[in-house]
Structure 1
């Protein structure tokens, strides 16, 4: 696989991981029982249940993808 394709793949995986974090928080929130006396949790508190591991890993993967694309572009400029 070429460097540009690998870079796009890494960025796609990173975006997928970020979206999975939000989808997981929404799924957790869908199972919360809401009563009149008890306020429903806001989305930020639901995100704390999921944690920040997925976001941290996703940011690293996206940075790697951008570096791969930059590396491919630099090689094209050098070979011209």
Structure 2
């Protein structure tokens, strides 16, 4: 898997973990007869902040991979261009 693919995968994992926290709170309170924002916030409190922490870590890692893939790709393109110039010069006898 390329760095770009890994970065996108980590960003997808971050989005999945972020959404999972809210879905878990909704499932946790699915048997409640009346809803309020205070009740939903307390359900989110029962879920905890672990999913958000992992989501933020995954998002940061994904962004780092995406940025790294752009810089490494530019370096590889420059190297390939230099190699092709050197090959052309050698074929001409320069």
Task: Give me the TM-score of the superposition, normalised by structure 1.
Answer: 0.84
Q: How does 1:68-79 map to 2 (within 5 A)?
A: 68-79=65-76
Structure 1 residue runs without a partner (length 5+): none
Q: Which residue of 2 aligns with 1:65?
A: 62
Q: Using the alignment, how far apart are the partners of 1:76 and 1:32 within structure 2?
A: 53
CA distance in 1, matches of 2:41, 2:64: 31
Q: Which has the higher contact order (CA 8 A, sep 6+)?
A: 1
Q: Normalising by structure 2, what TM-score?
A: 0.73
Q: Which residue of 1 aligns with 2:85?
A: none
Once residues 78 and 26 of structure 1 are traced to their aligned partners in structure 2, the CA distance between those partners, rounded to angstroms, is 47
After superposition, what is the alpha-carbon deviation per residue over 1:32-77, rounded to whole angstroms, capped at 9, x for unaligned? 245xxxx855321110010000000110001000000000001122
Which of the two has greater helix per residue? 2
Cα root mean square deviation, aligned? 1.6
Aligned pairs, number: 76
| Bigger Rg over Cα | 2
Q: Which runs of 5+ in 2 are unaligned?
A: 79-94
Q: State how far apart, in whole Å, the 1-side matches of 2:42 and 2:72 are.
A: 45
